[in-house]
Every structure is written in structure tokens, then in C-alpha cells.
Amino acid sequence: MEIRQLECFLACYERRSFTAAARSMNMVQSAVSTSVAKLEHELDARLFDRMPRALEPTEAGQAMVGPARAMLRARREVVDAIDRTRGQVRGEVVIGNLMNIRALDLAAVIAEMHRRHPRVTLQMRQSTSGVAGNIAGLRDGSMDIALLAGMSDEIPGITTHSVSTETLVLCTAPGHPLAGRPYRADDLDGIRFIDFPPGWGIRTIADELYPNRRPVIEVADQIFALELAAKDFGVVLVPRSVARHFTGVEYSEQARTPVPWKLSIAHDAQRTPSNAARTVIDALRDLGRG
């Protein structure tokens, strides 16, 4: 059993496609499918059912995921230990990203990382279920580190490092009755509300604080949500850093107790970050302090 075979297997498991897995690994599709076939032959077990539109993990394939990830982590820990003796930082870091993050310049962090540590490779992943998907990725090992956001940065089993704190604001069209003035939670009772998908941090907060709002649409893009709000389709809750970069809406905080929005970089508490992952964490923390 070779390390490359395990890497190909996990890439196929995560992407459900030989083609997509090959693209992510900069390999040709035939090499990935052959590698998985050889692994299946060696294990005497089919790991995937080759369906017309996707790869479907078999029971054996599902059972293989945890041990395969553990073996790759163990290999990485060996390499890290040797690199520390040489003062080197290298390896791949899978980062769970979030949409519309304006509170930090993530592109600047990545560019500076490449300048300082050219042997570090970053893979950005973005879950359709937002913060909930990133937390799941940290726990199942498919992500090394991830950005999280919400009212609190305390999550069981997850180690978080604060990056920034701001507030969520309510955005409306200029002529809306709530435009530009502090609002109370009951002001949103029955109000047309633009929601985000379940699992997103803002959706979780809205469900908790404004249970009597009237959702009229669910979108997976804060900028599109602001465009709808500007046309008076409904009101929407977004971070202040996002609202202030958008023209056409007015926004205000919740009266008396503004809603906090804490951005953090996190990893699973049971797994020690690699040298490369730790470098990314430190860079984001430093940016937040700045």
C-alpha cells in the first residue's frame, strides 16, 4: 500500500469523481483510477461503485476513510519532525474558507505565505453548509484548519484562535421603515427577511434571535442578498465589514445589545496542526491583531 494510493483514494472520496480528483492532484484521470484499482486489488475489496454520474463509496470505502487519513497524518508528522530540525516549513494545508469575508485580507496572507514559504501548498475548500460544514470538515479530518464565524468562538472539541470581532447589521432599502435606525428584535416580527442556508453562521443567529421573521428567499451569497435588499425585496443581516463596502442600502445595529460577529481560525482539538498549518494560523492571528 503506497501513500499515493491513499491520497488518490481520499481525493476520489471527497470529490466523488476520478476526473475531479485527478484535477485536484495535478494528475491524469487514468493514473488516479489505476491507483484506486490497484489499492482495491491489494485490499481485495471494492472501495467505490462506479455509477454513471459519480463514485459512490461502498461500505468498505467508508470504513477506509478514517484509517487512510490517520496514515497520511502520521506520515506528515514524521516529515514535520524532520523539518523542525532543519528549520523548514513545507507540505499541504487544506483550509476551510467562508464567503464574503471582508474583515481580513486573506489574499494578502496567502501571497505572503508563498513568499516566505514557497514549499507550502494551500488548498481552499468552501462548504455549501458554511460554518457547520467547516466544523464537520475539521472533525472528520478533511480540513486541516478552517475559518469559523458566529456570536461565539467557543465550540466543543474545536480549538479556535480569534482573528477579528465586529457586529452584524441589518441592511434595508433607503425607504424602508427600519432604514438607518437601531432596531429591536420584535421590530423584525413579520418582516420580509432574506435568509442564508442552514448551517451558515448568520442563519443560526437569525433563527435564534428573530424566530418570528418572515423568510421570503434563501440565498448563498451575501452580495446578492444585499442587491435584493437594495431593491426593497426584504431586509438582511450581514457583517458590518460587508455592508460598508456595498452602496444602495442603509444599515444599523440592534439596539442596546449589538449582535457580535466573531471570526476565528480553528482546528480539531484532538489533532496537532502541522508546521505549515501552524504558520497559516499564526499569519491570520497576526493580521487580526494588526
Per-residue cell: 276: 505549515
8 Å CB contact between 265 and 160: yes
Q: Per-residue pLDDT for 290 more than 60?
A: no
Which pTM value belongs to this model?
Answer: 0.76
Domain locations in the chain? 3-63, 89-289
**What type of residue sits at position 104?**
L
CATH number of 3-63: 1.10.10.10
pLDDT in tens, 7-38: 999 999 988 999 999 988 889 999 999 999 99
Q: What is the mean pLDDT of residues 179-187?
A: 95
Q: Per-residue pLDDT for 229 more than 70?
A: yes
Q: Is 7 helix (H, G, I), strand (E, B) or coil?
A: helix
Fold of 89-289: D-Maltodextrin-Binding Protein; domain 2 (3.40.190)
Per-residue cell: 174: 433607503
Beta-carbon contacts of 22 under 8 Å, excluding residues fewer than 6 positions away, are 11, 28, 29, 31, 32
In angstroms, the CA 221 to CA 242 distance is 11
Place of cell 418582516: 191
Q: What is the mean pLDDT of residues 26-55?
A: 91
Q: Is 188 helix (H, G, I), strand (E, B) or coil?
A: helix
pLDDT in tens, 98-149: 988 888 888 888 888 888 888 888 989 888 899 999 999 999 888 999 999 9
8 Å CB contact between 55 and 14: no
